[in-house]
Amino acid sequence: MDKFLFWILYSLIYIISLLPLCILYLITDICWIFMVCFPFLRYRKKIVRKNLAASFPEKDKHWLRMTEIKFYHNLTNNIAEIVKMFSISKRMMRKRMQFTNTEESVIKQFQAGRSVMVYIGHLGNWEWISSFPLWINRDHKCHVYHTLKNKVFDRLMYKLRGRFGSENIEMRHTLRTIIERRNEGKVFTIGTISDQVPIWSDIRHWITFLNQNTPVLSGNERFARKFGMAVVYMDCTKVRRGHYRIECKLLSEDASNCPEYQLTDTYFKLLEENIKRKPELWLWSHNRWKRTWEQYQLRMDAKREKQEQLKAKIVEQ
């Protein structure tokens, strides 16, 4: 049944994607106008407003509301662009999503025998970044992703993200994939969207990000340091609607030489600067700060108490 639903949905979206992008934008613009006129239609409105207010406490209410409206416009634009991904040609994708500094940051690292860890954020149209393989002449380009709960949509996005040559790997298989590629003697890029909220068991590092105490993912840095990978940050600029420029910034040629958490801290510093240039381009509807330092401390205290009780039982025995 899931397979049948997948092909029905895929065929339907593919047919819609054949429409010119300007028509797709017109459809999503109508949806955006309804969101402006009827705020209750705005996706995760409370989370968006909470995140913006906490991230920019110095801004007045008018600025926050205008940024909110611009964010929803960008979000609806992204929907049109993601739909277009189902049929867009490689030539057109290269024209609309351009990558700069790939020679220095990626190709030279390959030539030196180093694989590259690529840090990405939920900025601009992050799905279009899966077209990066069109800009580098390598067989192994990996993209780490989270599986979706809905199997049909998960398969749909899996197929879409692999259209331009990326190999999709689940986050839990990242380490295994790196080891397999190294054992095969191959260099590769592995792209990770690293501004997501980590699960409790993965929290090892906290930073101040957008004016808030923030738990961050640090596993990708550990992999890069362990295997001596080069590390690159993709800085996103929206040139105009439907056109993006990605600057590949080399953070380190050999992550094993970097102190612990330096690359993670640098990534979030650059991401914050990137967001502040055009705040509406970031995914404010993501509940990024749902895990707080206070909750973390309570969990750690409970964990320590449980360990002490276990030690006491062992001593008694």
Give Cβ neighbours of residue 153 (< 8 Å, ≥ 6 apart).
none
More confident residue, 2 or 273: 273
Residues 168/147, Cβ–Cβ less than 8 Å: no
- The pLDDT of 283-312, averaged and rounded, is 88
Report which of 241, 15, 252, 246 is spatially closest to residue 134, judged by C-alpha positions: 246
pLDDT at 46 over 90: yes
| Those residues with Cβ within 8 angstroms of residue 172's Cβ, 6 or more apart along the chain or in another chain | none
Q: What is the DSSP string of 36-50?
A: HH-GGGSTTHHHHHH
Contact 195, 288 (CB under 8 A): yes
Whether 225 and 259 have beta carbons less than 8 Å apart is answered as no
- Give me the mean pLDDT over the 235-260 stretch: 96
Share of the chain above pLDDT 70, in %: 97
pLDDT for the residue numbered 139 = 57
What is the CB neighbour count within 10 angstroms for residue 194?
24
Among 35-39, 97-101, 158-162, 281-285, the range scoring the smallest mean pLDDT is 158-162
- Name the helix (H) or strand (E) containing 192: strand 189-193
Residue 146 has pLDDT above 80, yes or no: no
pLDDT, tens digit, for every residue of 170-212? 878 888 888 888 888 888 898 899 999 999 989 999 999 999 9
Q: What is the reported pLDDT for 99?
A: 96
Residues contacting residue 94 through CB under 8 Å, at least 6 positions apart: 131, 134, 135
Between 206 and 152, the more confident residue is 206
> pLDDT: is 130 or 301 the higher one?
130
Q: Is 42 exposed, middle or buried (0-12, 13-18, 19+ CB in 10 A)?
A: buried
Which pLDDT value is given to residue 12?
94
- Contacts for 197-201: CB closer than 8 Å, 24+ residues apart: 197/286, 197/287, 197/288, 197/289, 197/290, 197/291, 198/291, 200/291, 200/296, 200/299
What is the pLDDT, as a whole number, of residue 30? 97
pLDDT score recorded for residue 149: 77
- Helices (H), ranges, 162-210: 174-183
Determine what percent of the chain is predicted with pLDDT higher than 90. Answer: 69
Residue 306: band (very low, low, confident or very high) from pLDDT cuts 50, 70, 90: confident
Mean pLDDT of 37-51: 96
The residue among 222, 228, 193 whose CA lies nearest residue 119 is 193
